[in-house]
Chain A
Amino acid sequence: MMLVTAIVKPFALDEVRAGLDRLDVSGLTVSEVNGFGRQRGHTEVYRGADYQVDFIPKVRLEVVVEEPVVEKVIEAVVAASRTGKIGDGKVWVTPVETVVRVRTGERGADAL
């Protein structure tokens, strides 16, 4: 099993979700995060005083899937969230040792 984590622009969330729905993905965790990559922050000016906003709001998606689906998930996320401009985000994949469904105690792929 693999954990696919993606950091994308907030407005891309709906399309990413729609893209993942078409695959064999049974669940998804979403959180609001802040950070910076190459996009850095931006400047805001209040009554002449300017502030550098270092951290930009993004959405983090986490989805655990079986290995054969990983490439499709990555493609779906990238396709749905790419605008070609700086700040589109990142996707990375990490191996997952096991998963437990809390309700039944099932383990591994059965728990997905």
Chain B
Amino acid sequence: MGGIDTGDTAYVLGCAALVMLMTPGLAFFYGGMVRARSVLNMMMMSLVSLGVIGLIWVLFGFSLVFGDSHAGLIGGFEFAGLRQVDVVVGGVPLQAFAMFQLMFAVITGALLSGAIADRARFWPWTLFVAAWTVVVYLPLAHWIFSIDGAVSEHGGWLANTLGALDFAGGTAVEINSGASALALALVLGKRPGWPHEPMRPHNLPAVLMGAGLLWFGWFGFNAGSALTAGAVASNAFVTTMTASAAAVLSWLVLEHRLDGRPTSLGGASAAVAGLVGITPACGYVDTFGALLIGLVAGLVCQLAIRLKYRLGYDDSLDVVAIHGVGGVTGLALLGLVSTHAVNPAGRDGLFYGGGFGLLGVQAVAIGVAAAWAFGLSALLAWIIRRTIGFRVPEHVEAGGIDESEHAESAYEYSPLHTTGRGSGLLSRHTEPAEEHR
């Protein structure tokens, strides 16, 4: 292993922290979109993902993804515990790279929670997301993120044997979360009253703040995936901005045509859709490729949201439409607009004289990721549903999941809400003794 490049190390550590911020950002993005009585539960699902996936990753998750591959399917246990302070990969300490990748695992797990707003019990969710990380995420991430010779000699089969291109996680993060979310929504079932009763977002400024934090962190996610502060990273930064900007405009224009107004929720969703679309492509396309991907993502993801009403699955916050469909859009279009000119490690797509080869490879990667994620997530969710139960009872859902699962409420609606004396520890300890009254 070579020496440490301090510039690249600083870059990767900074990007890791940027990506970390995406999960709290997602909590606001999702939290604002649910009703006021379930916002805390929504945000807690993201928070506990940081806890449980963070630990799994440090203990053995990183190792199973980036350890030396067994037949391209799963890594080994050689990096378990992440105590390798002197291992350097590509000029960056292994530990820095591992923390960057940890944040990817966390946000992907947290993303799924949007499909089951208002109705999942907290501990079954925690158990699910832990099992899902091990069974679904780690293998898929190994297949696509572990490049031969990067960390270990042998990497995963999607990236190396098949040769699929996925710069920052269109498969392992986006399609994975979209397909897993669909499985969760189907296994848990819809909320009572959906889709006839209004389930309006209770705090759109929170949604916009969350979208802003996601957008900000996404530069770490995408440009950081270059793992070195250079031309490829800069190009990925440009394409990330280009695609998200294009998606905002195309979404709002289409929304105005379809619904009569450009909305703030639409704009926030559009930015995320564009970012999702460009994620697999950001290091392999130029500005014009990014423009195309962003424009298309803004249109296709918006139309895909309408699918849930047609097909009747309660993907509450549209994880399928934005992450699943957006990921497919980005990976597929990459087969058209990928260009070798911006990245020597890339390939030319159909529009750049590369023929249909890459498009076919991308289609296989899409199919594999979606089938793997959907099938295993459905199985895991079904097992939890049948054993310990996954959902809160209907009357709890109607009364508000925050109160039943967390014994908290997000907002004080009226002074009457907090009248009455506490009977807990605090009041017992601060009660003055009888003779001093």
Interface set of A (CB-CB < 8 Å, partner B) = 44-52
Contact = CB atoms under 8 A, between A and B. Distances in A.
B200 A47 contact: no
A50 B200 contact: no
Contact of A47 (B198, B260, B261, B318): B318
Contact of A49 (B255, B261, B302, B309): B309
A46 B195 contact: no
B200 A46 contact: yes
Contacts of B306: 48
Chain A, interface SS category: strand
Interface in B268-317: 269, 302, 305-306, 309
Contacts of B198: 51-52
B263 interface: yes
Interface string B82-119: 00000000000000000000000000000000000000
Contacts of A51: 198, 200
A47 B195 contact: no
Interface in B353-388: none
A45 B263 contact: yes
A44 B204 CA distance: 13
Nearest to A52: B198
B378 to A, nearest CB: 25
A45 B261 contact: yes
A48 B200 contact: no
Contacts of A50: 259
A12 B405 CA distance: 42
B205 interface: no
A50 B309 CA distance: 12
A48 to B, nearest CB: 6
B260 A48 contact: no
A80 B198 CA distance: 35
Contacts of B255: 48
Contacts of B259: 45, 48, 50
A50 B265 CA distance: 13
Contacts of B54: none
Contacts of A49: 195, 309
B266 interface: yes
Given A51-B198, A51-B200, A46 B263 contact: yes
A52 B269 CA distance: 22
A51 B318 CA distance: 17
Contact of B266 (A44, A47, A52): A47
16 contacts: A45-B261, A46-B263, A46-B265, A47-B263, A47-B266, A47-B269, A47-B302, A48-B255, A48-B258, A48-B259, A48-B302, A48-B305, A48-B306, A50-B259, A51-B198, A51-B200
